[in-house]
Amino acid sequence: MTQAPEQTFDQSTVDRAQAIIARYPQSRSALLPMLHLVQSVEGYVSQEGIRFCAGQLDLSEAEVSAVATFYTMYKRRPCGEHLVSVCTNTLCAALGGDDIYATLKSHLGVGHEETAGEPGTPGSITLEHAECLAACDLGPVLQVNYEFYDNQTPDKALGLVKALQSGEKPAPTRGAPLTDFKQAELQLAGFFEGRDADLDGPSAAPETLRGAQIAKDRGWDAPTMPANAEFPALPEKK
């Protein structure tokens, strides 16, 4: 059942929500991208956003809230124009991630999931520490609106943030050209709005592919699995 949109969500947002729902055999499966759609409008997931999702998907607000509060990508407070995520998991931390986070925290005067500047306005920055950004071969790393900036140092990260505050959009190390948080959320919902070329951005760095390149150069191949390979029996479920 589709309810009338709340004031924040206009007809174009409702149309996008229905397009998301149409991708799935069961409407409730559309909840994750729909929460990204909400963030592309609001810059976070408000209670109004939760009601919107519940109405579009015929779910209870409790069901939507359970998902929105489980995943860290769904923000419960308004984000800045840019979300800066600093990896502080083991390897990045040991390589300088903790120092990078401390430098940015001091410069911005905010802590985890806090915003320097008025949320959503040009140059505003939301800072967070991330548990793992899956780029250990390029650590320490940080992301801006989920785009990678690899092999960082405190000075490089500080320069990046200052550039963001002044309205610049420095090119990520790999991936798509940098946009703002709301536009990134719209893409995560599946709408590229003329930015389809962003999908063509290189996602792998030379460091990541070095092992495969060495194997190719030396003619190394993994053995082919025999067509009649026997697999161990699965344990009996009790």
* pLDDT of 6: 45
Question: How far is the C-alpha of 145 from the C-alpha of 147, rounded, in Å?
Answer: 6
Cis amide leading into 140 (omega within 30): yes
User: Which two structure tokens, joined as six digits, stand for 75?
Assistant: 């923000």
pLDDT digits (tens, 9 = 90+) for 5-52: 446 899 999 999 999 999 999 999 999 999 999 999 999 999 999 999
- For 76, residues 6+ apart whose C-beta sits below 8 A from its C-beta are 44, 45, 68, 69
State how far the Cα of 187 lies from the Cα of 171, in Å rounded to an integer: 18
Predicted TM-score (pTM) of the model is: 0.86
pLDDT tens-place values along the chain, 238 residues long: 454 444 689 999 999 999 999 999 999 999 999 999 999 999 999 999 999 999 999 999 999 999 999 999 999 999 999 999 999 999 999 999 999 999 999 999 999 999 999 999 999 999 999 989 999 999 999 999 999 999 999 999 999 999 999 999 999 999 889 999 999 999 999 998 888 788 787 888 888 889 999 999 999 998 888 888 888 888 888 7
| CA angle 107–102–110, rounded 5-degree value | 50
Phi and psi torsions of 179, nearest 5°: -130, -165
Give the helix/strand (H/E) hosting 85. strand 82-87
Q: Which pLDDT does position 101 carry in this prediction?
A: 97
Mean pLDDT taken over the chain: 93
Cis omega before residue 206 (within 30°)?
A: no
- pLDDT value, residue 234: 86
What's the pLDDT at 7?
Answer: 65
Q: What local confidence, expressed as pLDDT, does residue 179 receive?
A: 94
- Interior angle at CA 194, CA 193 and CA 199, nearest 5: 95
- Six token digits for residue 115: 């915003």
Model pLDDT, residue 119:
95
Other Cβ atoms less than 10 A from the Cβ of 230: the count is 6
